[in-house]
Structure 1
Amino acid sequence: MGLPEVLIKPVQPEDNHKLLDIGRQTFYDAFGPPHNTEENINEYLNENFTLDNITRELHNPNSKFYFAWINNQIAGYIKINFGNAQTEPVEGNTLEIERIYVVKEQQGKKIGQLLFQKILQIAKEKSIEFIWLGVWEKNPGAIKFYKRNGFKVFNTHKFMLGTDLQTDMMMKLIL
């Protein structure tokens, strides 16, 4: 049996509740216990994944969100940033992948790869010099995914998840 058809569509402002729900769920599934404490993950979610924050991000012209749909169900999503919406100051015409998540039940079906292909298509349309991202150093599956797609580590970045100081590996793909 083949893989299901995946439709990738821009997230609309009126989808802010759906985006909040999938954002919170996929972040929790990826980084919740046993990887981090319940207290730290909930503190992070309650500070960063709020309806106000998601709505503001959706209205930022330099941020774009896309849902991956399978059988009228949201299977994953991406958030990409340009210009001053990027989470770090970066020189040049660059694109940041801030979020690329697939719901737990849909993992292993190449949805992340399809979302990444959408990012590549957008980057080429906008003549992007390089794509960059931060990935948690303790997320070997994601690191392997990005390396397989040609990304190379160029720096590290510290961030707080609740009370825990963590390290992201900064990776980029020169186009």
Structure 2
Amino acid sequence: MTHTLQIHPVTITDLPALQAVSRETFAATFGAANTPEDLANYLDRAYATPKLTRELNNPHSQFFFIQQDADVCGYLKVNVDDAQSEEMGPENLEVERIYVRVAYQKMGLGKQLIQLAEQLAHDAGKTRMWLGVWEHNDNARGFYAKQGFHQVGQHTFSIGGSDQTDYLLAKDL
């Protein structure tokens, strides 16, 4: 059986699916490094319906699903201008979230999402893309290095009582 892979914009009607894949992929990536209570509190806050609704309605943010047939395999969130989570300037596009479900990792889907982000940046006249990656996420750091990203700084990312270091990576376009 041939499977069809598609990338398409996420709309407000996709909110339940976005919440589900967001919670699943974040927990799979960061669950072991946090207490169950801290993780649950973060997931409830970060992916609450009102918060995701605001993000989906922000004209400076875009979400995309990557799907195989009807299955959501992962998603991408990009920000420009004042929607960026750090003040990086108007020439930048931020890849705020890029997650692929565990069952679909190592299949090139993350690369397709990064390529989409790069195309969106070009189309918007941006000259650089940037993102944050957890210092202990060696797989993601290696992936981003292969895509041409390099470290330009770091910031603190808090989950409950745990402060974690994210490396800020950038790629000139």
Q: Does 1:44 align with 2:42?
A: yes
1:119 corresponds to: 117
Which whole-Å deviations, capped at 9, do the CAs of 1:110-169 have from their partners, x for residues lacking one? 111111111111111112110001100010011001111110101010121111011000
2:157 corresponds to: 159
Offset of residue 46 of structure 1: 1.5
Q: Does 1:26 align with 2:25?
A: yes
Which whole-Å deviations, capped at 9, do the CAs of 1:13-55 have from their partners, x for residues lacking one? 111111111111110111102x222122112111211111111
Q: Which amino acid aligns with 1:97?
A: V
Q: Which amino acid aligns with 2:20?
A: D
Number of residue pairs matched by the alignment: 173
Offset of residue 92 of structure 1: 3.2
C-alpha distance in 2 between matches for 1:5 and 1:171: 32
C-alpha distance in 1 between matches for 2:91 and 2:98: 20
**Equivalences for 1:1-175 in 2 at 5 Å?**
4-33=3-32, 35-175=33-173
C-alpha distance in 1 between matches for 2:18 and 2:120: 20
Which runs of no fewer than 5 residues in structure 2 stay unpaired? none
Offset of residue 5 of structure 1: 3.5
Task: Provide the TM-score with structure 2 as the length reference.
Answer: 0.96
The 3-state SS of whatever aligns with 2:96 is strand
C-alpha distance in 2 between matches for 1:100 and 1:61: 19
The 3-state SS of whatever aligns with 1:97 is strand
C-alpha distance in 1 between matches for 2:135 and 2:169: 11
Percent of paired sites with the same residue: 37
Q: Which amino acid aligns with 2:71?
A: Q
The 3-state SS of whatever aligns with 1:61 is coil
Which whole-Å deviations, capped at 9, do the CAs of 1:51-92 have from their partners, x for residues lacking one? 111111000000000000101111110000010000011123
Structure 1 runs of 4+ off > 4 angstroms? none
Q: Which amino acid aligns with 2:6?
A: L
Which runs of no fewer than 5 residues in structure 1 stay unpaired? none
Q: Which amino acid aligns with 1:10?
A: P
